[in-house]
Amino acid sequence: MPQLSDRGLALPFSPYRKLTPYADAAKARGVHVLHLNIGQPDIETPPTMLAAVQQAQIRVLEYSPTAGYPSYRHKLAGYYQRIGMPVVADDILVTTGGSEALLFAFMCCFNPGDEVIIPEPFYGPYLGFAEATGVRVVPVPSYLDEGFRLPPIEELAARVTERTRAILICNPNNPTGYVYRRDELAQLLQLCQQHDLYLLSDEAYREFCYDAEFVSPLQLPGAAEHVVVLDTISKRYSACGARIGAFVTKNKALYQAAFKFAQLRVSPPGLGQLFAEAAAELPPSYFDHTRAEYRARRDLVLQRLRAMPGVECPTPSGAFYIMARLPVDSAERFAQWLLEEFSYQGRTTMISPAAGFYATPGAGHNEVRLAYVINQPAINAAMDCLAAGLRAYPGRVPQPTEAEVETSQSA
Amino acid sequence: MPQLSDRGLALPFSPYRKLTPYADAAKARGVHVLHLNIGQPDIETPPTMLAAVQQAQIRVLEYSPTAGYPSYRHKLAGYYQRIGMPVVADDILVTTGGSEALLFAFMCCFNPGDEVIIPEPFYGPYLGFAEATGVRVVPVPSYLDEGFRLPPIEELAARVTERTRAILICNPNNPTGYVYRRDELAQLLQLCQQHDLYLLSDEAYREFCYDAEFVSPLQLPGAAEHVVVLDTISKRYSACGARIGAFVTKNKALYQAAFKFAQLRVSPPGLGQLFAEAAAELPPSYFDHTRAEYRARRDLVLQRLRAMPGVECPTPSGAFYIMARLPVDSAERFAQWLLEEFSYQGRTTMISPAAGFYATPGAGHNEVRLAYVINQPAINAAMDCLAAGLRAYPGRVPQPTEAEVETSQSA
């Protein structure tokens, strides 16, 4: 039997995968599963995108240019410029989803053994891309009780070593919903300038900021050599299946290196680019409705969660995720129990244990990520299940509430 | 300025790229460039494929499952079974083009520093995937004068070391058009069994065999643990832009490792899968017309080449490429000269110097690869240019023909 590679063995399965068999079994038992576990939006994909593909006259579906169709790159540059990001078509390498932009960044910015600093918790697949490319992830903890704000810059500076090559952020953040402030981004960029680091900015959720202003580090003075924006149309236009993203940088040497990796796969998906090109022409007002809907859902989830005894959650300013601390022994056991042993009015809910977003063992063991990508009646039903589940769960931990703590301290 | 990674620096640009500025300049001068340089087929993409996408009702273009839509995997298994390949849906991981299947194979089968044996000349990007993943390519030479048949198995056996993990073939071969015989494949598989190696079989051109039977090593007894088929719809259905391929193996441990890499990018392109699914239902007779057209083109190119003094080329049995040795000092200089300094009746032709297909320095320096992906009148025009170019090229080498050699030897 031939051997598997070390990276093939070491690469973790997606944490989502662990719970899927339990969800499938629940469905087989006739339980309706309300999915708060994955970031697959339910908002309608703009019909103009599909129309663009359906009206296209294509005799031969040829390779597109390696960097993407010029027409799409120009329109995408127009989108960035309309929202104040100084991007021209030549800065854009169209990728097969945001994930390929991540792969190119890991391939081009790091040698095996190099290190990337990432505020924790973070999007789980970052660990996989690091494993695949031999890169060591150095987490810097952010905390639920602090709203998952960027840790003090000294915390990041203290983790810079001779092997550090980049800081990777997700802004707005998946899973925390935190939106980095301009002054935080300026501190990060300054640290990168001091140590010749790349600043990798995953901006998949850029358009979903509710009570904070979105700032890209690419908008800051001195960004050109350091900043790479990793982008995708997946969340912005509810178009996850198109697999169209972008690697955006003004660092020409880095762009050329990424371009060579892009040449290996010849071109990004052609039909998906036609689809994306139609989206790039949508006016900024297109997002008004979607943003209002997500904001209303966020507010609903927060209101419902905060009415549950022992549940704590900060207010996320962006993306479509909420991190919550639950009064349970283990969020993984609770999530499995909800699927395996529990139902309420014929329904249950599937949630993401936060452990999959932490590299530090044990961190976030009683936290979950909730994705508000289902409509408000469904959210209410899922919250009913969650509340009832928390009351019934045998592993509930009767942690004192803050009020009780205060009372006991003053006693 | 942050550093680039070693792999980002070392990765070569596509060899095609070198000549592109000269082709662009020729076009700017008003010269019509006939492209024999790239494998972008001109055959019409089956209209049923586009119709499937254009008739689809899609409210939200969601992520597909990581391994691809089950309906597509089942129909693709049906395609394989109809042509005698023992593949079931569970053996298939749908990929973003054949290139992602290659990436998964390099990631999963090799540790950095491991070796892959590849008959030379070979598809140029193999070197890039190896560079990206830290794998050393060990070429084993095949020769134009022997029709580029598989080198004697002892030649491959002699190159097996402790670091060898796989043999990679392309069947039918790009760039040589050679189709591996069943007995050659059996020898390769036996060698892989003896040394616990993977046998990676790139079968992008499977449907294009003209006077040889196509055999996949997956059809041989004992293949299950060793063989990985790397596939793509790009050439088969003239659908290069769809970026849909497949990683096919019955080795479950390897499949699981590849699946983990696939999870990092969540899913293959959705619209492309709809497109590919329609193709998977086409009957085997669909290829009759395409195969006949390519065969007629091959015969035309061979007839024209063999009428040019000093040009030598074996008869390729498959794919849509012909390798030819030209009576020139350097195929690279000649190809550039054709674009930069030459035209015939307002036209010139762009050809691929074979150096990009060899890892051994200097090998194939006077060989070119011609892709017969333009129609027969265009091929005739391109051959007129090539013939006239060879007559006029200042770097022409008056090599003796075989007849002249024989005459001189008998003298």
Going from N- to C-terminal start, the domains of chain A cover: 6-43+286-401, 47-280
CA atoms within 13 A on the CB side of B207: 26
**CB–CB of A9 and B238 under 8 A?**
no
Closest-approach residue (CA) in chain B for A51: B54
What CATH number does the domain located at A6-43+286-401 have? Answer: 3.90.1150.10
Residues forming a β-bridge with B224: none
What distance in Å separates residue A408's CA from the closest CA in chain B?
47
Q: CA-to-CA distance for B270 and A50, rounded, in angstroms?
A: 12
Q: CA-to-CA distance for A184 and A230, rounded, in angstroms?
A: 19
B3, B49, B123, B165, best to mutate vs chain A, most A CBs in 10 Å: B3
Asked if residues B248 and B218 have their Cβ atoms less than 8 Å apart, the reply is yes
Please tell me the class of the B47-280 domain.
Answer: alpha beta
Count of A-B CB contacts under 8 Å: 256
Given the DSSP bridges, would you call strands B136-141 and B115-120 parallel, antiparallel or unpaired? parallel
Interfacial B residues in 315-334 facing A (CB < 8 Å): none
B178: nearest Cα among B304, B56, B321, B388: B321
**CB–CB of B107 and A3 under 8 A?**
no
Both tokens assigned to A348: 């249950």
The whole-number pLDDT of residue B411 equals: 38
To 5 degrees, how large is the angle CA A266–CA A106–CA A183?
120
Q: Indicate the residue of B107, B242, B275 with minimum beta-carbon distance to A8.
A: B107
Coil, strand or helix: which one is A101?
A: helix
Enumerate helices (H) and strands (E) in chain A, giving the number of each. Answer: 14, 12
Both tokens assigned to A120: 């924790």
**pLDDT tens-digit profile, chain A (411 residues):** 899 999 999 998 887 778 999 999 999 999 999 999 998 999 999 999 999 999 999 999 999 999 999 999 999 999 999 999 999 999 999 999 999 999 999 999 999 999 999 999 999 999 999 999 999 999 999 999 999 999 999 999 999 999 999 999 999 999 999 999 999 999 999 999 999 999 999 999 999 999 999 999 999 999 999 999 999 999 999 999 999 999 999 999 999 999 999 999 999 999 999 999 999 999 999 999 999 999 999 999 999 999 999 999 999 999 999 999 999 999 999 999 999 999 999 999 999 999 999 999 999 999 999 999 999 999 999 999 999 999 999 999 975 455 544 544 443
B343: nearest Cα among B27, B31, B35, B37: B31
Interface contact B252, partner A, CB < 8 A: no
Interface contact B67, partner A, CB < 8 A: no
Closest-approach residue (CA) in chain A for B13: A260
Q: Report how far Cα A166 is from the mean position of its chain's Cα atoms.
A: 18
The whole-number pLDDT of residue A398 equals: 79
Residues in chain A, total: 411
B69 CB neighbour count, 10 Å cutoff: 20
Q: CA-to-CA distance for A369 and A400, rounded, in angstroms?
A: 22
Q: Which residues of chain B have pLDDT under 50?
A: 400, 404-405, 407-411
Q: Which residues of A touch B196 (CB under 8 A)?
A: 1-3
Closest-approach residue (CA) in chain A for B68: A241
Q: Indicate the residue of B5, B253, B265 with minimum beta-carbon distance to A97.
A: B265
What distance in Å separates residue B224's CA from the closest CA in chain A?
10
Q: Which residues of A touch B132 (CB under 8 A)?
A: 107, 261, 264
Q: What is the pLDDT of residues B255-270, one digit of tens each?
A: 999 999 999 999 999 9
Asked if residues A329 and A15 have their Cβ atoms less than 8 Å apart, the reply is no
Asked if residues A7 and B203 have their Cβ atoms less than 8 Å apart, the reply is no
The whole-number pLDDT of residue A13 equals: 86
Enumerate helices (H) and strands (E) in chain B, giving the number of each. Answer: 14, 12
Q: CA-to-CA distance for B105 and B121, rounded, in angstroms?
A: 20
Q: Indicate the residue of B11, B60, B66 with minimum beta-carbon distance to A260.
A: B11
Given the DSSP bridges, would you call strands B227-232 and B198-202 parallel, antiparallel or unpaired? parallel
The whole-number pLDDT of residue A157 equals: 98
Asked if residues A217 and A227 have their Cβ atoms less than 8 Å apart, the reply is yes
Burial of A396 (0-12, 13-18, 19+ CB in 10 A): middle
**CB–CB of A107 and B64 under 8 A?**
no
Interface contact A251, partner B, CB < 8 A: yes
Residues forming a β-bridge with B32: B347
Q: Which residues of A touch B100 (CB under 8 A)?
A: 265
What CATH number does the domain located at B6-43+286-405 have? Answer: 3.90.1150.10
Q: Indicate the residue of A61, A109, A198 with minimum beta-carbon distance to B242.
A: A61
The whole-number pLDDT of residue B383 equals: 98
Given the DSSP bridges, would you call strands A115-120 and A32-35 parallel, antiparallel or unpaired? unpaired
The whole-number pLDDT of residue A1 equals: 85
Query: What are the b/e assignments for A232-269, b being 16+ CB within 10 Å?
Result: bbbbbbbbbbbbbbbbbbbbebbbbbbbbbbbbbbbbb
Residue type, A269: P
Asked if residues B369 and B175 have their Cβ atoms less than 8 Å apart, the reply is yes
